[in-house]
Homo-oligomer: A and B are copies of this chain.
Amino acid sequence: MTASYKIASNRLLNTIHETASKFGAKGIWGPRSTETGVCRLALGDFDKGVRDWFVEETTQLGCKIKVDKIGNIFAIYPGKNDGAPTGIGSHLDTQPTGGRYDGIYGVLSGLEVLRTLKENGIVPNYPIAVVDWTNEEGARFSKSCMASTVWNGSASLEKTYAMKSITDDVPVTVEEELRRIGYLGDVEASYKVNPLACHFEIHIEQGPVLENENKKIGIVVGGQAYQWYKVTVHGKAQHTGTTPLMARSDALLTASKMMVKGNEIAKKYGGLFSVGTLNLEPAVANVIPELVTFTLDARHVQDEELAKILSDCKSEFQKIVEQEDSGKYASVEFEHIQTSNAVKFDDECISCVRDAAIELFGKDQVREIVSGAGHDSCSTSQVIPTSMIFIPSREGVSHNPEEYSTPEQVAEGFEVLLGAVLKYDAKRTK
């Protein structure tokens, strides 16, 4: 179906590289000029630059621009009928050590959809909005999906305005920075006042599944649930030379057993268990650690199974503490940090993605997948029909300058997005 349209080869990829080089290129990983990452922190000068550029490009295509009170930009391409736009969104901000694709690929693919419609003289049934969601990464202001959660009504605008940056020597608030860069809009940041009919998002997988299985397209059916805990393991600081093994309460040995066990539990349930940070005290080579704290990040596609993983972790860690060789001073505490429930995307949106992908590449080249990471689509899915498309990530690397998908993968994903959006638009009756 999309094969009947003229698609500009390489334009999307060139746009990705041109905007990367103008707005925050950083982190050289190869000899070519395109082989760097991007550091474009939310509401900073590079973010302002790419926003200005995005507004200018979409305005030239005939879009009406709406900027809401949290800085989300809606570039609305007109349709035959009025109505809530069909949405295509992602984010233009990055991690401090970000790549060229995470988020950016989604917004620029939306732009490429509009360019393609324009060039082919296609007027959709309903408007199509390309959305740049503010601060998806949560790197400069420490909340991921910051602005899409204001828009969906789950986060407070006032509290979000007051958040302070953590990457500046002199912290500044979200509101101050929105005003400074000229993106403190006047449209209510609300899906009720400024609605979308649906939300499609194309993104790099950020994992190795598609690459390992040699698939072109991931049809994202939802997002997995996750919970974070801070785990504190107590022991007793003693001299490493003078304390027999059986007289020790070695908090690091106890924590090590927990980490091994946590992985076994996650494996049993088909979920994930990770420890990304760990601190110990007193941290002296010849003193047995008496305090170990670590973050526990557990994930599963089903909330119920995640609950089992966590329940098992709590009971098994307690059993480890009670083992004789954990020592008489051993104890463990769990402090809940965050829960994100499983997300289930919309069947109709998923069908549009599936049909477009299979038409283009055949059943063997696509697979259903669950998003491991959070995305703005997880926010939109709480209030409007939503789905996502993944393309392969080289070695699953992301949040790293070396993040990479091939030119072919970038182009193939875009074609699926274009097809899915047009299918959805074709089915719309209001």
Where the two chains meet, the residues of A that have a C-beta atom closer than 8 Å to any C-beta of B are 205-209, 212, 224, 226, 228, 236-245, 247, 250, 252-253, 255-257, 259-260, 263, 266-267, 272-278, 280, 282-289, 295, 297, 299, 325, 371-374, 395-400
Contact = CB atoms under 8 A, between A and B. Distances in A.
A250 B266 CA distance: 14
Contacts of A278: 252, 278, 280, 283
A153 B255 CA distance: 43
The 10 closest A-B pairs by CB, nearest first: A207-B242, A242-B372, A241-B372, A240-B274, A256-B256, A256-B259, A285-B295, A206-B242, A208-B247, A241-B373
A3 to B, nearest CB: 31
Contact of A242 (B242, B247, B267, B396): B396
B272 A277 contact: no
A396 B238 contact: yes
A245 B259 contact: no
Contacts of A256: 255-257, 259-260
Contacts of A245: 263, 266-267, 272-273
Counting every copy of the chain, the complex holds 2
Contacts of A250: 263, 274
Contacts of A399: 239, 287
Contact of A297 (B226, B240, B257): B240
A396 B237 CA distance: 10
A278 B325 CA distance: 21
Contacts of A263: 245, 250, 253, 325
A275 B209 CA distance: 35
A381 to B, nearest CB: 16
Given A247-B212, A277-B280, A286-B276, A226 B252 contact: no
A70 B180 CA distance: 64
Contacts of A260: 253, 256-257, 260
Contacts of A396: 238-239, 242-243, 247
Nearest to A288: B274
Given A256-B260, A259-B253, A274-B250, A285 B228 contact: yes
Contacts of A209: 244, 247
A398 B239 contact: yes
Given A243-B396, A257-B260, A283 B276 contact: yes
Given A244-B209, A260-B257, A396-B239, A276 B299 contact: no
A245 B244 CA distance: 36
A361 to B, nearest CB: 22
Nearest to A390: B242
Contacts of A226: 241
A259 B398 CA distance: 29
Contacts of A397: 238
A240 B224 CA distance: 12
Nearest to A276: B285
A255 B275 CA distance: 12
Nearest to A246: B267
Contacts of A247: 207-209, 212, 396
Contacts of A266: 245
A1 to B, nearest CB: 30
